[in-house]
C-alpha cells in the first residue's frame, strides 16, 4: 500500500468539535470490550454521532463482542484439535460480522445512515497466510462511494480477502491494524483507538498508583513500550502507523467524551523531551543459561538458530568473554516457550562435552524515552536506584531509546516504583 500524506496533527479532540469548521475524515476503532453488550454498542453509536454532528466523515472499524472469538475457537477445538487454518478464518470472521451489523442498526435507528462492510467488502486485500495474514492493499472505492452518500461506514476489523478469494484474518491485534491501515489509505486526519483505558500511562497504574497519563508519546517510544510489555496497543498496529505517519490517539470508550487521551505521533522537540517517558515491564520471561560451550565463531548461531527456527522470540542476550576455549551464553525467552527451548538445546548440544544448561524465571523491567539520545547517565541513574533498594540485576540489554534489565520476579513491583520515582515520572515535564 502506498504511503499517503497526513494533514497536520491536531492537538486535541476538542478541535474537531469546536475549532475546525472544515470537514475532516476520522477513523475510529472500538475493541471487544467497547462492543461487549447492546448497551455498549448503543454508547458507541452515540459517540460516532457526536463526531458526525460536528460535520466530519467517520469510518469505524470494530472487533467482535468481548469473548466471542474465544467462544468460536473453543467450538472448533471441540471438533478437532488441529482445525484447518482456512476454516478457522471463516469461523472467526463471523464475530466481527455480528458487531458491524448491530452497530449499523444502532446508527440507522438514530437517523444517521450507516452501512456495514466486511473486510472483503471494504477492499481489504491480504496475502495467503491464514490466521496471521498481512494487508497488501486496500481498494477504497466502495468506502469512498458510501462516504459521498453521507453514510457512516462500519468496517469489520481483523479480516480481509486473499488473492484466491478466501477469507483471511490478521492475527492478534488485527482490528487495531485494520483501523490504522484504513486511516493511512483514506488520508484520515486521525485514527482514534477506543479501548478500556483512557490513554498511555508512564507505567501500569495498578503497580504504581502515581503513574501519570501521557498527553503524547512518539511512535518509537510506543513501539518499545508495546514490545516490552505495555498492552495498550498491539506492536503491529504501531509499526504500521509509524510507517505511514498516521497520528494515533488512544481513548477510553467509558470516559467523558472531552477526554483527549494520548496522541501517538512523530518525534517532536526531542531535545526538550523528558529523558524517560515510561517504565514497561513483563512478568512472563525465562532466563536460559548455557555454560562451557566452545568459544568459537558461529557459536551464537548454533545455540540460537534452532530456537529461532521454532518461532521462539529470543530477547536479551549476553555472551561472556571466553576462557580456556570455553564461554557461557545467557538469553531470555517468553516463559511459555522455555520448555520447548530447553528441548531444542538438549537435542542440539547433547554431543558437546561438558555443556551444562539451566533455566530460571525472571521479570523484565525497561526504561523508555527518546530523551536518552541527548541525555547521559540514564543507565547509571537506573542501576543506582535499583541497587539502593537491593534489586540485583541478572542481565541487561539496551537500544538507542531503552534499557532493559532482567531481575528476580519478586522484586518487579519494587523496581517499577523505584524507577518511576528516580526519573520523576509522576511529574509532567516543564
Q: Can you give the pLDDT at residue 299?
A: 86
Instruction: Scan for cell 466486511, then name that residue.
Output: 118
Distance CA 142, CA 393 (A): 55
Distance CA 203, CA 248 (A): 19
Residues with Cβ within 8 Å of 366's Cβ and at least 6 positions away in sequence, in order, are: 224, 228, 229, 279, 280, 281, 402, 403, 404, 405
Both 264 and 293 in a single domain?
A: no
Both 311 and 348 in a single domain?
A: yes
Q: Can you give the pLDDT at residue 17?
A: 41
Q: What is the mean pLDDT of each run of 10 residues along the chain (430 residues)?
A: 37 41 86 94 96 95 94 96 95 96 98 97 96 94 96 97 96 89 94 87 90 89 79 80 89 76 75 76 92 88 91 87 84 92 90 88 93 84 96 91 93 96 81
Both 249 and 347 in a single domain?
A: no
Q: Can you give the pLDDT at residue 376?
A: 77
Both 21 and 162 in a single domain?
A: yes
How many of the other CB atoms lie within 10 Å of CB of 366?
A: 24
Both 347 and 319 in a single domain?
A: yes
Q: Can you give the pLDDT at residue 153?
A: 98
Number of independent structural domains in the chain: 2
Strand ordering across the sheet containing 124-126 = 135-138, 124-126, 159-161, 167-169
Distance CA 383, CA 377 (A): 10
Both 258 and 385 in a single domain?
A: no
The β-bridge partners of 192 are 28, 249
Both 252 and 338 in a single domain?
A: no
Residues in the chain: 430
Distance CA 129, CA 239 (A): 19
How many of the other CB atoms lie within 10 Å of CB of 85?
A: 14
Both 260 and 285 in a single domain?
A: no
pTM, full prediction: 0.77
Q: Write out the residue range of the structural domain in which residue 379 sits.
A: 279-422
- Identify the CATH number of the domain in which residue 366 sits: 3.30.2130.10
Both 172 and 313 in a single domain?
A: no
> Maximum distance among all alpha carbons in the chain?
80
Which of 371, 370, 364, 367 shows the shortest CA–CA distance to 391? 364
Amino acid at each position: 500500500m502506498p504511503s499517503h500524506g497526513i494533514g497536520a496533527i491536531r492537538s486535541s479532540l476538542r478541535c474537531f468539535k469546536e475549532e475546525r469548521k472544515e470537514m475532516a475524515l476520522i477513523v475510529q476503532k472500538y475493541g471487544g470490550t467497547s462492543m461487549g453488550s447492546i448497551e455498549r454498542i448503543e454508547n458507541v453509536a452515540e459517540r460516532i454521532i457526536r463526531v458526525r454532528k460536528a460535520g466530519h466523515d467517520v469510518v469505524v472499524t470494530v472487533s467482535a463482542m468481548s469473548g466471542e472469538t474465544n467462544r468460536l475457537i473453543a467450538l472448533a477445538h471441540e471438533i478437532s484439535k488441529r482445525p484447518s487454518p482456512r476454516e478457522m478464518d471463516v469461523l472467526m470472521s463471523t464475530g466481527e460480522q455480528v458487531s458491524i451489523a448491530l452497530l449499523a442498526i444502532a446508527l440507522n435507528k438514530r437517523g444517521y445512515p450507516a452501512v456495514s462492510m466486511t473486510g472483503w467488502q471494504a477492499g481489504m486485500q491480504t496475502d495467503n497466510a491464514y490466521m496471521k495474514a498481512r494487508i497488501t492493499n486496500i481498494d477504497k472505492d466502495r468506502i469512498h462511494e458510501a462516504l459521498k452518500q453521507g453514510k457512516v461506514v462500519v468496517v469489520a476489523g481483523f479480516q480481509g480477502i486473499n488473492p484466491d478469494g478466501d477469507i483471511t484474518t490478521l492475527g492478534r491485534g488485527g482490528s487495531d491494524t485494520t483501523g490504522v491501515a484504513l486511516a493511512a489509505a483514506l488520508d484520515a486526519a486521525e485514527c482514534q483507538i477506543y479501548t478500556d483505558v483512557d490513554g498511555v500511562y508512564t507505567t501500569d497504574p495498578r503497580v504504581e498508583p502515581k503513574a501519570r497519563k501521557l498527553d503524547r508519546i512518539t511512535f518509537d517510544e510506543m513501539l518499545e513500550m508495546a514490545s516490552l510489555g505495555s498492552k495498550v496497543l498491539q506492536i503491529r498496529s504501531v509499526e504500521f502507523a509509524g510507517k505511514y505517519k498516521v497520528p494515533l490517539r488512544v481513548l477510553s470508550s467509558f470516559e467523558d467524551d472531552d477526554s483527549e487521551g494520548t496522541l501517538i505521533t512523530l518525534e517532536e522537540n526531542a531535545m526538550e523531551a523528558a529523558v524517560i517517558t515510561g517504565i514497561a515491564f513483563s512478568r512472563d520471561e525465562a532466563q536460559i543459561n548455557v555454560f562451557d560451550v566452545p568459544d568459537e565463531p558461529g557459536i551464537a548461531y548454533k545455540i540460537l538458530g534452532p530456537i529461532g527456527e521454532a518461532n521462539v522470540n529470543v530477547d536479551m542476550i549476553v555472551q561472556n568473554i571466553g576462557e580456556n576455549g570455553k564461554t557461557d551464553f545467557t538469553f531470555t525467552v517468553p516463559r511459555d516457550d522455555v520448555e520447548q527451548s530447553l528441548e531444542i538445546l538438549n537435542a542440539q548440544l547433547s554431543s558437546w562435552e561438558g555443556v551444562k544448561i539451566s533455566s530460571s524465571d525472571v521479570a523484565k523491567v525497561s526504561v523508555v524515552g527518546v530523551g536518552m539520545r541527548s541525555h547521559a547517565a540514564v543507565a547509571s541513574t537506573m542501576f543506582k536506584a535499583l541497587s539502593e533498594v537491593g534489586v540485583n540485576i541478572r542481565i541487561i540489554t539496551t537500544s538507542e531509546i531503552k534499557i532493559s534489565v532482567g531481575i528476580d520476579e519478586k522484586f518487579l513491583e519494587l523496581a517499577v516504583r523505584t524507577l518511576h520515582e528516580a526519573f520523576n515520572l509522576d511529574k509532567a515535564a516543564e
